[in-house]
Chain A
Amino acid sequence: MKKILVVDNHPIMLKFMSQLLEKKGHQVWTAPDGLSALEILKTDIPDIIFADLIMPNIDGKKLCRIIRSIPKLKDIFIVILSAIATEEEPRIVDYGADVCIAKGPFNEMAEHVLTAIEHSDVEPTQRPKVKIIGREKLFKREITKELLASRKHFEATLNNISEGILELTSELKIVYINPAAVSIIGIPEETALSKNFTGLFNEKHQKRIMDSLENPGRKKQLISSEAPAELNDKQVTLNIIPIKDDGQNPILVILKDVTQRKKMEAQLQHAQRMEAIGTLAAGVAHEINNPISGIMGYAEILKERYHEQGRDEDIPSKIIRESDRIAEIVKNLLSFAKDWQEESRSARIKDILSNTLGMIKGQMAKDNIKLSVDVSNNLPDIKARSHEIQQVFLNILSNAHYSLNQRFPGPNENKFLGIQGKTVKLEDQNYVRTTCYDRGTGIPINILNKICDPFFSTKPPGNGTGLGLSISHGIIKNHGGKLLFESVEGEYTKVMVDLPAM
């Protein structure tokens, strides 16, 4: 007695095979498609599988491939039952089947089926090459050829299209996946088929995907690039199309990988925001400068008058001092925005750095910060306005200093600040990259894209204007360079200053 699984979408074929095989004393399971067959194979392992080639929900070709890829199933004797045996002959060998029987009148098929069962006793390694039996008497098949031609046409289209395309059953199991979808999802076709589609997504996106797929009105649904879903570390959009004219209610899903596009959009948005802020800052600074000069002038007059009257009042001096502070802030704002007039000259990063460090080294040593500087003499020169670059370094190093003190108020062996210089090549241009690495408090990911905004500061009021990094950003941008940040909150911050090499 053999255990036999018959997979065919035509009820007559299933009935005929059951009658035939049960009469011979075999145990028979039947399944109307590849997906149901895989369900049975989860719990039962038959000796032989008879499978149709063209079926809904995972066809015979894919079913064969999946079976051959699962270690506990791979030695099952597989017989293809097909009405397209002749047309598909060259391919059937590749599917991994052992025998192929051409469908025809039941008396002839019965004979071939029983012969195939006899063949199944041969050890898997001894089995001869796949052969097709019963095709001698097959009827003419103009229609078949046409159907196959049209099927192959669609297959070629789906195999080469750049969008990922999947077909799901109403229970959301994957029954078709094209190569583009395989590459987006990142698991092989054999593994993806029969898997639950929503399970592929990151947990926090699963409910959203489920809601769009369940979709009681059976309308088209879109998860657009406004708020893409996350899958295999990629950002994807989904176009969900329920197929209406079929009793089984399958769902078509078109996947698009928009990771790169989203990244570029974010960069563009950031650049546009910086530009807008720059324009605004320049305008505001200009408008404030005039009244400030007025206030300072009147305060001077007041001071003079008090002096003449012999009154000892310090209020005018206080007004002047506070106005000076406003003027300083306005000057900084302008430096973020304005196009610089000063000429750039050839300069060495090493020199700029040592000038900067000269100013803050003492304070760092006092705070027990271990400083390591690794900047070679052989780095190429840069074309720069040195005092501006010095201002940038001063900003970055002061931030690192502050952050290290926040994390380690006292001495600590992790209270470390490293500076390294090297050459990097980006888009065919050589840059000198200065990296400042500190093991301070780090930057929370949700504010990482805001730290260059003017007046954005995490420091308590009075400890910072929130202009340091926005000015630095403006300076580096004007030098044709890039200011990059990498950080893990609570662990470290890395700031990279890339300046074009000469």
Chain B
Amino acid sequence: MNFKELSKNLGLEEEEYIELFELFVETGMEDLNELLIAIDMSSTEKAARIAHSLKGAALNMGLNEFHELAETIGKTVRAGQLEKTAQIAKTYQEKLDTAAGLVKC
């Protein structure tokens, strides 16, 4: 993940971007936990809302990979494929974990 380029794309200082990115990881993790609970409870409306929030944040940050994943989560939720949604949510979680490690280095 190239923070220099990502921040430049958004017209932000790299430091500012990293600050925002840390928040992105933190809120993303919370959202994913909520999403997995919502899936367990078959609460599709709540799951759709969380998917929407994930997608918005990724778009704001110019993070295309996360944006696409979030979009897929939204689609599978709407299709009622909750098991598949849970799988993708876990992939999203792993990617966030990896990205969080990058910031810490």
Q: Which A residues contact B (CB, under 8 angstroms)?
A: 10-13, 15-16, 19, 83, 103-107, 109-110, 139, 142-144, 146-147, 150, 245
**B101 contacts the other chain (Cβ, under 8 Å)?**
no
> In the assembled complex, which residues on chain A have CB atoms less than 8 Å from the CB atom of B78?
142-143, 146
Contact A105 B23, beta carbon cutoff 8 Å: no
Complex CA gap A15/B22 in Å reads 11
Q: Which residue of A lies closest to B67 (CB)?
A: A139
- If A105-B10, A143-B48, A143-B78 touch, whether A10 touches B59 (CB-CB below 8 Å) is no
Cα–Cα distance between A327 and B100 once the two chains are bound (Å): 100
Query: B11 touching A10 by the CB < 8 A rule?
Result: no
Chain B positions near chain A (C-beta within 8 angstroms): 9-12, 16, 19-20, 23-24, 26-27, 41, 43, 45, 48-49, 51-53, 55-57, 59-62, 74, 78
Would you give 18 A-B contacts (Cβ < 8 Å), ordered by A?
Answer: A11-B26, A12-B57, A12-B61, A19-B12, A19-B19, A83-B52, A103-B56, A103-B59, A103-B60, A104-B60, A106-B62, A107-B12, A107-B62, A139-B59, A143-B55, A146-B48, A147-B45, A245-B43
Contacts of A245 in B (CB 8 A): 41, 43
Give the complex CA separation of A245 and B9 in angstroms.
Answer: 39
B45–A12 CB distance below 8 A = no
- The closest CB in chain A to the CB of B45 belongs to A150
Query: Do B57 and A107 touch (CB < 8 A)?
Result: no
Given A106-B10, A107-B11, A109-B60, residue A12 in contact with residue B27 (CB < 8 A): yes
Question: What residues on A are CB-neighbors of B11 within 8 Å?
Answer: 106-107, 110
Closest to A111 in B: B11
Q: In the complex, are the beta carbons of A11 and B52 less than 8 A apart? A: no
Is B60 touching A105 in the complex (CB atoms < 8 A)? yes
| Alpha-carbon separation in the docked complex, A245 to B12 (Å) | 37
Q: Which residue of A lies closest to B27 (CB)?
A: A11
Q: In angstroms, how far is the closest chain A Cβ from the Cβ of B25? A: 10
**A10, A16, A19, A139: the one within 8 Å of B53 (CB):** A10
* B9 (CB) vs chain A CBs: closest residue: A107
A11 touches B61 (CB 8 A): no
Q: Which residues of B have CB within 8 Å of A103? A: 56, 59-60
**Bound form: Cα–Cα A99–B97 in Å:** 38
Assess A144 versus B52: contact at CB under 8 Å? Given A12-B27, A12-B57, A16-B60: yes
| Cβ-defined contact, A10 with B9, below 8 A | no
Alpha-carbon gap, A16 to B11, bound state (A): 12
Q: How far is the CA of A13 from the CA of B56 in the complex (A)?
A: 10
Which chain A positions have C-beta within 8 A of B49? 147
Interface centre among A16, A104, A139, A245 (most CB of B within 10 A): A16
Extra contacts, 10 of them, besides A103-B59, A146-B48, A245-B43 (Cβ < 8 A), are: A10-B53, A11-B23, A11-B26, A16-B20, A19-B20, A106-B60, A107-B9, A107-B10, A143-B48, A147-B52
Assess whether A143 is in contact with B23, with CB atoms less than 8 Å apart.
no
Residues from chain B with Cβ under 8 Å of A110 in the complex: 10-11
Contact, CB under 8 Å: B74 / A13:
no
**Smallest distance from the beta carbon of A104 to chain B beta carbons, Å?**
6
A106 to B7 alpha-carbon distance, docked (Å): 10
Q: Which residue of B lies closest to A141 (CB)?
A: B52
